[in-house]
Amino acid sequence: MTVLKIRNKQQCRWDLVSLGEVMLRLDPGDSRIATTRQFRAWEGGGEYNVARGLKRCFRMDTAIVTALADNPVGRLIEDLMLQGGVDQSHVHWVDFDGVGRTVRNGLNFTEHGFGVRAALGCSDRGHTAVSQLQPGDIDWENIFAKEGARWFHTGGIFCALSESTPLVAREAMEAAKRSGTIVSYDLNYRPSLWKSIGGKAKAQEVNRTLAPLADVMLGNEEDFTAALGFEVGELDENHSQLNAASFRKMVGKVVQKFPNLPVVAITLPNAKTAPVNDWGALC
């Protein structure tokens, strides 16, 4: 059994560093987006939320690496992240063009579901500063070697933002490994993001390229199949009868393919709460 060796807190300024987009979330409360007259403002993003949760629930020291356009919307995201307690010293600020043609900040309109009415989201995240992040923009050696980080987290949403973001993720993951930082990658497959840049095939290509650099791979069943190209056998229509054995088999294949992965965690799709299962014992 492989055990994760995590660096000492004393050597590291950061318990965790996340790389990903942070969007302004606009939420109409009890109303619907299409008929509201009022929005509440929050910040959010798949990779960022991990850093925020660890900070505010467990008081860990976490930092976010992202990019923002320097306009009042970007500064509102900064203000929300300040409240979130996640360090922003590695946020990459980009000049705004005054219009939003060349660079923007991501927005996410979200609506609660009630009873038979499903929850509804409308993301507006094209042409964002973070999607234009390039290798070389961030001083990863400073973060991992000099300041020190115990854990680095990124994932498949960030890598679906553009052609360049997987290159930034690779650069970061390699730097993290050089400093002995644990690397986790959340597959988080979002078809709409991949659609115009190569679809499922591209998603699999990107994720398979990055998987050898991760220590921990996270995802639900769809993430492992659609976004990483593995298959779970004997699966009925609703995924409701996926049995542990099938999963165990798939995880076996994942570990065979990527022997670098001591931990593979699958959130079961029909579970009420999302248990994270440590499959490391299979290695």
Binding site for a second copy (CB under 8 A): 26, 32-41, 71-73, 75-76, 78-79, 82-85, 96-102, 104-105, 107, 109, 111, 120, 122-127, 192-193, 195-196
Least distance to a second copy from the beta carbon of 2, Å?
33
**What six digits make up the tokens of 104?**
């923007």
Burial letters 144-163, b for 16+ CB under 10 A, else e: bbebbbbbbbbbbbbbbbbe
Least distance to a second copy from the beta carbon of 78, Å?
8
Least distance to a second copy from the beta carbon of 246, Å?
30
Amino acid at 79: D
If the CB atoms of residues 78 and 222 are measured against a second copy, the closer one turns out to be 78
Beta strands of 75-136 (E only): which ranges? 92-94, 107-111, 120-124
If the CB atoms of residues 79 and 141 are measured against a second copy, the closer one turns out to be 79
If the CB atoms of residues 238 and 273 are measured against a second copy, the closer one turns out to be 273
Least distance to a second copy from the beta carbon of 195, Å?
7
The C-alpha atoms of residue 127 and residue 76 are separated, in whole angstroms, by: 18
Least distance to a second copy from the beta carbon of 238, Å?
24
If the CB atoms of residues 23 and 176 are measured against a second copy, the closer one turns out to be 23
If the CB atoms of residues 83 and 270 are measured against a second copy, the closer one turns out to be 83
Q: Which of 204, 120, 121, 116 is nearest to 159 (CA)?
A: 204
> Which residues make Cβ contacts (< 8 Å) with residue 36, sequence separation at least 6?
28, 29
